[in-house]
């Protein structure tokens, strides 16, 4: 842990920052992406590219939620504004991931750019459906398929 | 899946139509006439686990004859398959066969029915998307005919999806 001096910027783990913030001993400097203008830009990007997810941090949902509830006064924009743009972003991304699910098959799924929480939300559904598809697919695999399956098993 | 999977056991107990290839003395109770023999050519519904074995094992060591012959069961009859191809979402899977996907899996494993599997996979995807959108519904009581037509696997899928969406909402609002 670095030594903490007044009015000096230091990097500490988020949990420490939250505790210190709770005791009124520090201000949190919000990450650059957590601002209305940046998120708005991302939203416009999402709208422009219907096939792509915009580039947001791996855990943007969790971080923004924590910072908005615990350190709202340190953020550049009002929390209502942030909340609404985050909600918009989430919805447009959900719509996209749903469209991506139409491409489900028994072997793989590609959802580049989706963040941790969004993946977790989909996971149970995708796992069950893909599991069933794999079982159905495997029930008719010919001898050729089986041979190649065995090979790929070894690679794993 | 697995030895203790109740769905698997129930699916094994589903009856499918078969035809006897030989006369078996004393088995008459299967068709409601105890003490008598079951005649060659009798058509009878047998549970999957029994039919599977009897249809594969040969009666004598060096013959191709099997005890029974499997007939085409209702759940893959052309009428049903056409309905599935026409509109997967409108088919009442539960009333056709409560463990539809399991049964299809077993059936195609025996007969290597690529076409059946392809049709069923298309249906599964279509219906899964529909289930997903119903599961997003936040209200507690949903009554649509579609949810009543789910087979056991799909019901499970609905429950799991609903639960994960609920947890997500909960996390969002806490």
Would you state the pLDDT for residue B133? 86
Would you state the pLDDT for residue B78? 87
Q: Given CB atoms, is A58 within the 8 Å cutoff of chain B?
A: no
Would you state the pLDDT for residue A23? 92
Boundaries of domain holding B28: 1-71
Domain end, chosen from B37, B52, B71, is at: B71
- Optimal mutation site among B125, B151, B163, B170, interface A, most CBs of chain A within 10 A: B125
In a domain, residue A151? The reply is: no
Compute the distance between CA of residue B56 and CA of residue B68 in angstroms, rounded to an integer: 9
The values of phi and psi at residue B122, to 5°, are -60, -45
Would you state the pLDDT for residue B108? 87
Boundaries of domain holding A22: 14-145
How many domains does chain A fold into? 1
* Cβ-nearest to A129 among B106, B124, B168: B124
pTM: 0.81
**CA distance to A25, A63, B41, B115, per residue, from A16 (Å):** 11, 14, 79, 59
If asked whether residues B87 and B169 sit together in one domain, one would say yes
If asked whether residues B89 and B60 sit together in one domain, one would say no
Lookup: tokens for A114: 């989706």
Positions in chain B whose pLDDT score sits under 50 = none
If asked whether residues B107 and B49 sit together in one domain, one would say no
Domain end, chosen from B19, B39, B71, is at: B71
Domain end, chosen from B9, B36, B71, is at: B71
Least confident segment among A99-103, A126-130, B13-17, B167-171: A99-103
* C-beta atoms of B157 and A128 within 8 A: yes
In a domain, residue A140? The reply is: yes
In a domain, residue A80? The reply is: yes
- Chain A contacts of B114, Cβ < 8 Å? 140
- Chain B contacts of A83, Cβ < 8 Å? none
If asked whether residues B98 and B32 sit together in one domain, one would say no
Q: What does pLDDT average to over chain B?
A: 85
ipTM metric: 0.81
Lookup: tokens for A146: 């089986």
Element (H, E) at B11: helix B6-13
Q: Given CB atoms, is B122 within the 8 Å cutoff of chain A?
A: no
DSSP per-residue letters across B44-103: EEEEHHHHHHHHHSBSSTT---BSEEEPPPGGGSHHHHHHHHH-GGG--HHHH-TTHHHH
Averaged pLDDT for residues A60-82: 87
Residue A149 has pLDDT above 60, yes or no: no
């Amino acid at each position: 842990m670095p030594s903490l001096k007044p009015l000096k910027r230091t990097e500490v783990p988020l949990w420490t920052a939250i505790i210190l913030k709770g005791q009124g001993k520090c201000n949190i400097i919000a990450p650059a992406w957590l601002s209305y203008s940046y998120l708005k830009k991302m939203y416009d990007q999402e709208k422009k590219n219907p096939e792509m997810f915009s580039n947001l941090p791996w855990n943007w949902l969790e971080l923004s939620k924590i910072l908005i509830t615990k350190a709202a006064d340190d953020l550049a924009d009002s929390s209502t504004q942030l909340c609404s743009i985050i909600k918009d972003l989430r919805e447009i991304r959900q719509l996209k991931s749903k469209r991506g699910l139409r491409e489900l098959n028994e072997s793989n799924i590609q959802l580049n750019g989706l963040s941790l929480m969004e993946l977790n939300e989909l996971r149970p559904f995708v796992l069950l459906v893909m599991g069933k598809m794999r079982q159905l697919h495997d029930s008719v695999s010919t001898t050729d398929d089986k041979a190649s399956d065995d090979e790929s098993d070894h690679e794993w | 899946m697995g030895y203790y999977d109740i769905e698997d056991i129930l699916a094994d107990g589903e009856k499918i139509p078969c035809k006897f290839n030989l006369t078996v003395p004393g088995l008459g109770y299967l068709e409601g006439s105890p003490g008598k023999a079951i005649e060659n050519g009798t058509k009878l519904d047998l549970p999957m686990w029994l039919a599977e074995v009897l249809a594969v094992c040969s009666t004598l060591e060096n013959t191709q004859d099997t005890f029974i012959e499997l007939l085409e069961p209702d759940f893959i009859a052309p009428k049903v398959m056409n309905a599935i191809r026409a509109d997967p979402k409108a088919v009442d899977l539960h009333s056709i066969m409560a463990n539809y996907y399991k049964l299809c899996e077993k059936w195609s494993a025996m007969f290597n029915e690529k076409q059946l599997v392809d049709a069923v996979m298309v249906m599964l995807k279509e219906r899964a998307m529909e289930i997903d959108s119903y599961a997003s519904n936040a209200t507690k009581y949903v009554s649509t005919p579609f949810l009543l037509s789910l087979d056991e696997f799909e019901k499970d899928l609905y429950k799991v999806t609903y639960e994960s969406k609920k947890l997500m909402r909960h996390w969002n609002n806490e």
